């Protein structure tokens, strides 16, 4: 069955340092994978998506993610964190029934 | 372009009262529609999923129901709210293109507090 696992429930970085949010997936076929960001009391905004084209995907706000089939991973990175990046991040895929499957979420804190 | 509207943004309701949250999508046809609930500090729980009018699957047993009276309208309801129904409710839509699942688009959410 298709699923995603976010390996960290909380990540804390200093402003200006790199960000790494980890996501592993489980799928019997080439999956569609997405990263979303949610600021407090807001809806979810799409950061980037992988749909079997280029394995390195660039998104909004300087984020990118690399699809690694050998590692079944789709980690989200950003070279330099900004205070405004503090939010909840979700790794998402679809199951075979067409339903969105969410990871547990990673809360990113950015210290000044 | 496609847009999704979800209302109201906030709602405070007494225990035992009814609930109706509405979600509408513009600019697309035959979307897949979703209702999620997010409890404080928790991830998203899929409540209902619909691939077409009158086609709704319920993911968890609960005090809520959903209806899709029109192609782009999705309604979340309850006859009698419980305290445990409090949470942040999100509506979303997605589409299939070329056999691949596309990204989902989310409404701004409804903060429901049952008192």
Q: Which residue of A has its CA nearest to B59?
A: A99
Give the number of domains in chain B: 1
Conformation bin of residue A70: beta by default, left when phi > 0, alpha when psi is -120 to 50? alpha
A109 pLDDT tier (thresholds 50, 70, 90)? very high
Q: Which chain A positions have a beta carbon within 8 Å of B25's beta carbon?
A: none
The string of pLDDT tens digits covering residues B41-80 is 678 889 999 989 989 998 876 789 999 999 999 999 999 9
Cβ within 8 Å, pair B44-A90: yes
Q: What is the distance between the alpha carbons of residues A24 and A104, in angstroms, rounded to a whole number?
A: 12
Question: Is residue B47 a part of any domain in this protein?
Answer: yes
Q: Closest partner residue to B101 among A42, A90, A98, by Cβ?
A: A98
Conformation bin of residue B92: beta by default, left when phi > 0, alpha when psi is -120 to 50? beta
Question: Is residue B111 a part of any domain in this protein?
Answer: no
- Percent of chain B at pLDDT above 70? 93
* Other beta carbons within 10 Å of A17: 12
For A:40-99, CB contacts with B below 8 A are 41-46, 49, 51-52, 90, 92, 94, 98-99
Domain region containing B72: 26-96
Query: Which of A66, A86, A44 lies closest to B43 in space, CA to CA?
Result: A44
Is the pLDDT assigned to residue B97 strictly greater than 90?
no
CB of B77 closer than 8 Å to CB of B18: yes
Q: Which tokens is A44 given?
A: 């979810």
CATH code (residue B35)? 2.60.40.10
Is the pLDDT assigned to residue A75 strictly greater than 70?
yes
Q: What is the pLDDT of residue A103?
A: 92
Domains of chain A as residue ranges with CATH = 3-105 (2.60.40.10)
Task: Give the 3-state secondary structure of residue A51.
Answer: coil
């Amino acid at each position: 069955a298709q699923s995603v696992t976010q390996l960290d429930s909380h990540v804390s970085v200093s402003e200006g340092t790199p960000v790494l949010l980890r996501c592993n997936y489980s799928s019997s076929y080439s999956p569609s994978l997405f990263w979303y960001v949610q600021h407090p009391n807001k809806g979810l905004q799409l950061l980037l998506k992988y749909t079997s084209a280029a394995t390195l995907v660039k998104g909004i706000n300087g984020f990118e993610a690399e699809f690694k089939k050998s590692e079944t991973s789709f980690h989200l990175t950003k070279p330099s964190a900004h205070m405004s990046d503090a939010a909840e991040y979700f790794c998402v895929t679809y199951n075979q029934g067409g339903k969105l499957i969410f990871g547990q979420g990673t809360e990113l804190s950015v210290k000044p | 372009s496609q847009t999704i509207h979800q209302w109201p943004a906030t709602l405070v309701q007494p225990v035992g009262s009814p609930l109706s949250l509405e979600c509408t999508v513009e600019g697309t046809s035959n979307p897949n529609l979703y209702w999620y609930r997010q409890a404080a500090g928790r991830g998203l729980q899929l409540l209902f999923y619909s691939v077409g009018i009158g086609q709704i699957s319920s993911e968890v047993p609960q005090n809520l129901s959903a209806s899709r009276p029109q192609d782009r309208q999705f309604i979340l309801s309850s006859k009698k709210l419980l305290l445990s129904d409090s949470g942040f409710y999100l509506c979303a839509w997605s589409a299939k293109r070329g056999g691949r699942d596309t990204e989902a688009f989310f409404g701004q959410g409804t903060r429901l507090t049952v008192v």
